[in-house]
Structures are given as C-alpha cells and as structure tokens.
Amino acid sequence: MERLFKFLYQYRVFFSFLGLEFLCIWLVIRNNQYQGAQFFNTSNRLVASTVSVSQNVTGYFSLQDINRQLAAENARLRNELERRSLMPAPRVPVATPDSALAARFEFVSAKVINNSTLQYKNYITIDKGAADGIAPGMAAINELGAVGKVKQVSKHFAVLISVLNIDNQVSCLIKRTGYFGTAQWDGLDPRVIDLKYIPRHVPVQPGDTIVTSGYNAVFPPGVQVGVVQSAVVKEEGPFYDIKVLLSQDFGKLSFVEVVRSYLKAEKDSLETTLMEEK
C-alpha cells in the first residue's frame, strides 16, 4: 500500500495531467449533447454582458445593413397587407382554424450579441432568456430564414446552436415537390449547407427552394432555408448529394426572432407514446 502511494506521488504530475484531460474530454462530450440551463458559457450573465459591450462597439458597423433589411421586410409586409385588403371577403366563412392552432407560434425578437461562422460548432448568443419565455429547444429565425435552435438559457440570455453547426440537423423539404430530407452543415463553407436523404428518384434541380418542414416542431413550417445550388447523384448512392445556398447571411446576423411553439409539448408527448408502443 505504501509503495502504491509512493508510486502515485512520484508520478503525480502525469496522473493529474490525465485527470484534467479526462475532465476536459468529459466536458467536451457533455457540451455536445446537453441542452438546458448551464453556467459555463456565454449565457452566463457576467460573460454575456462583457460580450455585449464588445458587440455594442462593433454593432454600429452593421447598422446600415440592418436598416436595409428591415426596410425591405417592411415593404414586403405592406404589399401583402395591401393585397389582402383588396381581396373580397368570403361570403361563406371558410373553415376557421382552431384558435389554439392559429396561435401556436409566438415570436420574441432578440439581438445577437455573439456569433461565429468559422468554427465547426458555431453558437450564437442572444440577449433574451428565460425571463422572456425562451426555453431550450425553441427555434430562432429572422426575415432571411432559419437561424438555429436554443441550446441553453439563463435568465436574460440564451445560446443558440447555429444552423452552421455540424451537430445540428434541420428537417427540410423541397418546396416544389414536397419531398423532405435533413439539412446539415459539413463545416466547410458558411454559405452552403448539405441536404441529405433525398432519394434518387425525386426530381431535384438547381434553383429549387428549400424550406423547413415543421415535422420536428422546432421550426415553424415554411421558413426559408435556401436554394438548391447543385444536385448530383452518385452512381451507387441511394440519395442525392445536394448543396443548398443558404438564404441566411450568418456573417451579418444582428437580430433574430425566437419562436415559442405552444403545441410542441403536445405533439412530442403524442409521438412519444407512439414510439413506446413500437
């Protein structure tokens, strides 16, 4: 026993090195999987306010772009409103959707205070948190398209897994044909994302619009993701290799809207019971 202690003491540096490395690797793995409230990331209040100050300085440089985007969206919405007001009111009320279904999504606007696009695992920090009703698993979008999914929240801040994160999968469909697949980033180009699992018999052509499917209830259905850039099918492959040009400009992301989906819990619990029966 004494010799064992002596041995451990003699190699204490090596063993503490091993111990620290295992601790780090455990943290890395946990950080990749875990969703919830966590202390050691940029949703931490102290860290977030530091980052936020730094963002306030650099934020001025993108104001012009934000203004242009907002003006464009405003014009689009005004056109839509104008078009609707010209339409004759239907004499017979068309089937009105259930009020719970009609109000199933609520949008919370938030400012981006930290963002990266060049790592393999990119995260985005926003300045709204649990106090504004944001919870892990919610989607974040803006007028240009899908942004990400809430990973961790603190009281006043939240960290999103960007669509540009090699671990993040988004259920998407091809708008023209309705076939659905999974969009996942390959870590290379921050403007291009892969669309996977589109079977080879489906007609896909460059220019097809890709939108979220709404099947996993994170994103509302029909949120723009991008446009097909190239679609090739390998001779022996069962699926297409589709490259999608993202509609979102992640390099200039400044504001996002977090989607609170009121029916997600209901949908999930219904589907879980089905899965358990299998």
Span of 3-11, 21-29, 126-134, 255-263 interacting with another protein by CB under 8 A: 21-29
- In DSSP terms, 105 is beta-bridged to 261
Q: Residue 30, interface with another protein (CB under 8 A)? A: yes
Does 27 engage in binding with another protein (CB under 8 A)?
yes
> Helices then strands (H, E): number in the chain?
6, 12
- Please select the residue that binds another protein; options are 11, 21, 79, 203, rule is CB under 8 A: 21
Instruction: Identify the residue among 69, 125, 154, 224 touching another protein (CB under 8 A).
Output: 125
Question: What is the total count of residues that contact another protein (CB under 8 A)?
Answer: 38
Q: Is 33 in the site for another protein (CB under 8 A)?
A: no
Position among 77, 81, 188, 265 found at the interface with another protein (CB under 8 A): 188
Q: Rule CB under 8 A: is residue 20 a binding residue for another protein?
A: yes
Residue 182 touching another protein (CB under 8 A): no
Chain positions 49 to 88 lying near another protein, rule: CB under 8 A, are 50-51, 54, 58
Contact 112, 124 (CB under 8 A): yes
Site string for another protein, 225-264 (x = CB under 8 A): ----------------------------------------
- In the complex, what is the shortest distance from the CB of residue 272 to another protein, in angstroms, rounded to a whole number? 28
The residue behind tokens 């996993």 is: 216
Task: Tell me the backbone φ, ψ of residue 68, rounded to 5 degrees.
Answer: -65, -45
Distance CA 235, CA 239 (A): 10
Cα distance between residue 144 and residue 222, in whole Å? 12
Choose which of 10, 11, 16, 73 interacts with another protein (CB under 8 A).
Answer: 16
User: Residue-wise over 14-31: b if at least 16 C-beta within 10 A, else e?
Assistant: eeeeeeeeeeeeeeeeee
Dist CA 198 CA 136 (whole Å): 29
264 with 214: CB under 8 angstroms? no
Q: Which is nearer to another protein, 31 or 182 (CB)?
A: 31
Q: How many CB atoms lie within 10 A of CB 247?
A: 18
Q: Cα-flanking dihedrals φ and ψ of residue 157, to 5°? A: -135, 160
Interacting residues toward another protein by CB under 8 A: 12-13, 16-17, 20-21, 23-28, 30-32, 40-42, 44, 47, 50-51, 54, 58, 114, 116, 118-121, 123, 125, 159, 166, 186-188, 190
